[in-house]
A and B are shown apart, each in its own frame.
Chain A
Amino acid sequence: MNRTNPFDEIEQFFGRTPFGGDRTWGRDLRTTDIDVAEYDDEFVVMADLPGYDREDIDVRAADGRLTITAELDAEHEDADRRYLRRERRHESITRSVDLPAAVLDEDASATYRHGVLTVTLPKATGETDDSHRIDVA
């Protein structure tokens, strides 16, 4: 049957807003901070992803849900280097967000500049539900 993955549920717990409203959880519980802005004819999703390479960011839209994955290369351990503070994220991250309305996945575009990913998704008039990969320019 259609069993749900417990990790998906945990992710949804933090990634969605099950209790309604523009609730913001503690910074450490989120993988990345995002904005979802709605304009007349499109949605613009912006995500803070400082320090990633453009080619290591994967953006997918499927079934009204946008998933952003950013892979971080394993750091080369250097015996001479000593961390006095280590607050920045050093792991790969994934964040999913439900889009408020149907979008044209195939016409979506994404850019990465100054550590901020911007995904532009034109609103759909009809139904589209195919998974589609969005190139990061």
Chain B
Amino acid sequence: MEKTVNHKAWFLVLPVLVLVAFSAVVPLMTVVNYSVQDTFGNNEFFWAGLEWFDEMLNSQRMWDALGRQLAFSAIILAIEVPLGIFVALNMPKKGFWASVCLVLMALPLLIPWNVVGTIWQIFGRVDIGLLGYTLDKLGIPYNYTQDFFAAWATVIIMDVWHWTSLVALLAYAGLQSIPDAYYQATKIDQASRWAVFRFIELPKMQGVLMIAILLRFMDSFMIYTEPFVVTGGGPGNSTTFLSIDLVKMALGQFDLGPAAAFSIMYFLVILLISWVFYTVMTNLDKRETGR
């Protein structure tokens, strides 16, 4: 049969194109525009080519921020994923207490980022904060505004407090979907508790865990508000992560060109990592459904 060609169908795509243009293409092109030009105000622009990209790639400051960022994401993933699984394994499976647990677990997820930052900023203060005051009285040196280690510990514990629930809830959903027969079979086969986890629970949670890791990685890689509120990136530059550095550069120093180049590279890194995750996940799916 001859396929009929109807060009009017393109009009149906138009609304989406307009939406995407305003939500993504136009803002992104603005940034691209800044990244290849130099401006001295008065809306005067001079062509700069790839100069800013070159400068950023050779900037120790950016590499340091990237290093801190990767370290931060790696640490919180290393804590939140196992801890989330552990919590999920120990949550009641059904009944009243299961609901109570779910609500309690969901609470931190509902708190706005800057409120989380404020809570921990106050909680950790040595003069009025419960945590800071107690540690200080116990003779443990703790001052996140001056001590590098205390600052990192505070930011990491805050993130763990805020986001472990997400991993736990996803893992819990994965566990709930395992039919009883699997547990019965492991009892018949006399499998150890570890073997049940290794051969039943972990494989069945694989899908949701990939999503949890992806979400937590992307989110932690873009973290801004909480460390900004708690430490402001300090002491020194010790908790200055990529987006904090970016904001300092763009709004603090008003270096629009370098900041734009920085933004684009930041965006590309996130895109690249998302692509890697996506590829890994779809490959796992393929393996799941057979060769």
Q: Do A and B bind each other?
A: no
Instruction: List residues of chain B with CB under 8 Å of any chain A CB.
Output: none
Instruction: List residues of chain A with CB under 8 Å of any chain B CB.
Output: none
